[in-house]
Amino acid sequence: MLRERLKDFNIILASGSPRRQDFFNKLDVDFVIEVREIEEIFPNHLQASEITEYLARLKASAFKDLTHKDIVVTSDTIVWKDGKAVGKPKDVEDARRMLRNLSGTMHEVFTSVCFTGKDFQKTVSDTSKVWFKELTEDEIDYYITQYIPFDKAGSYGIQDWLGYIGIERLEGCFFNVMGLPTRLVYKTLCKITEQ
């Protein structure tokens, strides 16, 4: 359905994330992948979804040479806990520290998706709340060793083993926690094609 609506557009997914690429395939969208390097630094005063919105737009700013048929899709996801962003772990010890911090508590996951054309830009955001059970040190070590979550914000993937055994409750969109609020992407692309 979406493939037909987008047939006159060139959808560019500016993400190296295999998960986001898989989502676009499952949404039945024809797209190309083009990632342009940009330094992902945000101003310190930004909070929660302001950070993801800023970074999604920043990633889009690398695309200056768009035609009228191009739509660039950029996005960013953060884990938010105790009033600050929890990024990707630098090493094993950092991953352990992050997972201990998430253990037995609730955190939020913010994702923003920016749609940029030659003459327009639209950004949508979503929030999910995730509750973890108390994780044991053995569970944390097993997960880090077996799943090597260094490319994931907060050191975990909800779709991985830790999500299966550790998530007690989720409020909001599951796919948002994986890195893309798919229903919002679908809705926004449909609206763009109606213009």
Catalytically annotated residue among 65, 76, 138, 141: 76
| Strand partners for 124 | 113
Residue in the block written with tokens 């990024």: 87
Distance CA 9, CA 194 (A): 12
28 is catalytic: no
* DSSP per residue, the chain: -HHHHTTTSEEEE----HHHHHHHHHTT---EE----------TT--THHHHHHHHHHHHTT-----TTEEEEEEEEEEEETTEEE---SSHHHHHHHHHHHTTSEEEEEEEEEEE-SS-EEEEEEEEEEEEPPPPHHHHHHHHHHH--TTSGGG--TTSHHHHHHEEEEES-HHHHHT--HHHHHHHHHHHHH-
Cα atoms in the 13 Å half-sphere on the side-chain side of 10: 10
- Which residue bears the tokens 């797209």? 31
Query: Could you list the active site residues?
Result: 76
